[in-house]
């Protein structure tokens, strides 16, 4: 069982540089299945999920190497159509290979996906979208078998819910389909815009990313590109929450301030000072004034991100005497960190999709278990202010999504033991 000891309490100070976005890098790496020639993707974070994706691309016949936050990928004319079970079931995002394999081969066999255990997370919206493109779908022996009858033609499809993954899967399929596709009620997250920009640089014609309708004119082929991934908005929010809970003073570099307004607004409302020094530099500090509880609910972008709620909950849990609430509307089971925070002395009640947080003065160190990636980050930042040694178990969860997490925190003043 992987574990890490956080020695608290500490106050974070200094500067931290934000890495490239996992959730933007994963679909972009997978989109290279669509491309011919050698592509170079830069600002890719060094994470276990990225390494899983590289292994996945190799298993499909591409050549891929990771060095110094750069992935060099050689596309192939001979894309294999079967994605291996152990790679797909480890990581939900790997189901994104279905769209590009279909686009290149017309036939794909992909196991049902895995990933964080935050709810049932079905893929029905992906599959209904594929059906709208004339793809025949069967489930056999745990695999989803997808098959087109002849050439894949562009189509119109309205998503039941703006699923990020389904939007990405369909964008990739439509990029090489014949004719025009119109996708409605799509996700508007920055990672969608980043994928669209990547696809367009590779020769696709994707318009409207960032709005709720995307129009795609299919192209016959796509070619190699050199592309930098956007900054990680969830990692940014995690450091902001870590500084906030320790009442610290930190400058975050290489962020994209426009993409993190959800967390900036909430932390300002709570009472922290956030100064946008420029488009990619953000200063967070606390001037000693009263901090207030807030009531928020998670929503699709540009609303408050579901990925940030766990870390914000740790901050709210430490605002003594103030009551806050967080309503989770995106995932049905994303409060797995609550029990563990309560073991550390937090006072949080969950009623269905709503968590009511009664702020306390102190958290106490304890042994706690990470249950998922962002919930794991929430426990780590709670450990920064808990008195004594907080022993975090199952730390492999945070290695999926945070580059050099202990190194970055140590530079800001955190103390760890193994």
- Give catalytic residue positions: 116
Taking CB under 6 A as the criterion, the residue among 87, 166, 241, 348 binding ligand UD1 is 166
State the binding string over 174-193 for ligand UD1 (x if CB under 6 A, else -): -------------x-x-x--
Nearer Cβ to ligand UD1, position 163 or 257? Answer: 163
Residue 371 found at the interface with ligand UD1 (CB under 6 A): no
Residue 54 found at the interface with ligand UD1 (CB under 6 A): no
Residue 307 found at the interface with ligand UD1 (CB under 6 A): yes
Distance CA 338, CA 85 (A): 32
Distance CA 286, CA 11 (A): 11
Nearer Cβ to ligand UD1, position 47 or 206? Answer: 47
Show Cβ contacts of residue 226 under 8 Å, excluding neighbours closer than 6 positions.
Answer: 39, 40, 42
Phi, psi of 207 (to 5 degrees): -120, 145
For residue 413, the tally of other CB atoms under 10 A from its CB is 15
- CA distances (Å), origin 99, targets 124, 231, 350: 14, 25, 38
State the residue number with the nearest CB to ligand UD1.
165
Q: How far is the CB of 376 from ligand UD1 (least distance, A)?
A: 13
Distance CA 417, CA 4 (A): 6
Do residues 195 and 170 lie in contact, with contact meaning Cβ atoms separated by under 8 Å?
no
- Which residues between 265 and 294 bind ligand UD1 (CB under 6 A)? none
Residue 165 found at the interface with ligand UD1 (CB under 6 A): yes
Taking CB under 6 A as the criterion, the residue among 18, 79, 87, 123 binding ligand UD1 is 123
Q: How far is the CB of 167 from ligand UD1 (least distance, A)?
A: 8
Q: How far is the CB of 102 from ligand UD1 (least distance, A)?
A: 16
Nearer Cβ to ligand UD1, position 168 or 406? Answer: 168
Q: Estimate the crossing angle of helix 309-317 against helix 233-245, to 10 degrees.
A: 10
Nearer Cβ to ligand UD1, position 37 or 122? Answer: 122
- Which residues between 315 and 334 bind ligand UD1 (CB under 6 A)? 330-331
Q: How far is the CB of 78 from ligand UD1 (least distance, A)?
A: 27
Nearer Cβ to ligand UD1, position 6 or 159? Answer: 159
Taking CB under 6 A as the criterion, the residue among 81, 126, 233, 369 binding ligand UD1 is 126
- Which residues between 4 and 43 bind ligand UD1 (CB under 6 A)? 23, 26
Distance CA 253, CA 240 (A): 12
Nearer Cβ to ligand UD1, position 189 or 403? Answer: 189
Phi, psi of 198 (to 5 degrees): -65, -50
**Residue 17 DSSP SS3:** strand
Distance CA 104, CA 98 (A): 10
Q: How far is the CB of 306 from ligand UD1 (least distance, A)?
A: 5
Nearer Cβ to ligand UD1, position 28 or 166? Answer: 166
Q: Which one of the spans 162-170, 178-186, 285-293, 312-320 is the region binding ligand UD1 (CB under 6 A)?
A: 162-170
Question: What is the DSSP code string of 314-377?
Answer: HHHHTSTT-EEEEE--S-SS--THHHHHHHTT-EEEEETTEEEEE--S--B--EEE--SHHHHH
Distance CA 341, CA 309 (A): 13
Applying CB under 6 A, the residues found at the interface with ligand UD1 are 23, 26, 92-93, 119, 121-126, 161, 163-166, 187, 189, 191, 306-307, 330-331
């Amino acid at each position: 069982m992987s574990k890490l000891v956080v020695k608290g309490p500490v106050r974070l100070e200094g500067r931290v540089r934000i890495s490239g976005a996992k959730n933007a890098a994963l679909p972009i790496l997978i989109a290279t299945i669509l491309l011919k020639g050698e592509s170079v993707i830069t600002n890719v974070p060094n994470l276990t999920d990225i390494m899983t994706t590289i292994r996945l691309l190799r298993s499909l016949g591409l050549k891929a190497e990771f060095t110094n936050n750069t992935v060099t990928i050689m596309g192939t004319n001979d894309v294999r159509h079967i994605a291996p079970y152990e790679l797909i079931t480890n990581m939900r995002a790997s189901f994104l290979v279905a769209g590009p394999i279909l686009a290149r081969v017309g036939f794909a066999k992909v196991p049902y996906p895995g990933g964080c255990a935050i709810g049932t997370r079905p893929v029905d919206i992906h599959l209904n979208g594929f059906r709208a493109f004339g793809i025949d779908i069967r489930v056999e022996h745990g695999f989803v078998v997808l098959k087109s009858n002849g050439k894949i033609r562009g189509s119109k499809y309205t998503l039941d819910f703006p699923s990020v993954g389904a939007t990405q899967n369909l964008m990739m399929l439509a990029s090489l389909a014949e004719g025009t596709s119109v996708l409605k009620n799509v996700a508007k997250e920055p990672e969608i815009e980043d994928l669209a920009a990547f696809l367009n640089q590779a020769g696709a014609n994707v318009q409207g990313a960032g709005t709720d309708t995307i129009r795609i004119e299919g192209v016959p082929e796509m070619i190699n590109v050199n592309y930098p991934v956007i900054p990680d908005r969830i990692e940014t929010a995690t450091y902001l929450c870590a500084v906030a809970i320790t009442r610290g003073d930190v400058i975050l570099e290489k962020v994209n301030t426009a993409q993190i307004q959800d967390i900036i607004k909430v932390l300002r409302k709570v009472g922290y000072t956030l100064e946008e020094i420029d488009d990619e530099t953000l200063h967070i500090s606390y001037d000693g004034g009263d901090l207030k509880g807030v009531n928020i609910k998670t929503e699709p972008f540009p609303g408050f991100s579901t990925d940030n709620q766990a870390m914000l909950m740790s901050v709210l849990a430490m605002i003594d005497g103030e009551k806050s609430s967080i309503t989770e509307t995106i995932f049905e089971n994303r409060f797995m960190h609550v029990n563990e925070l309560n073991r550390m002395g937090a006072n949080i009640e969950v009623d269905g999709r709503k968590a009511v947080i009664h702020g306390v003065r102190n958290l106490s160190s304890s042994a706690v278990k990470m249950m998922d990636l962002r919930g794991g980050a929430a426990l780590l930042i709670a450990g920064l202010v808990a008195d004594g040694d907080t022993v975090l178990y199952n730390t492999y969860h945070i290695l999926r999504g945070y580059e050099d997490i202990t190194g970055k925190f140590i530079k800001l003043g955190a103390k760890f033991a193994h």
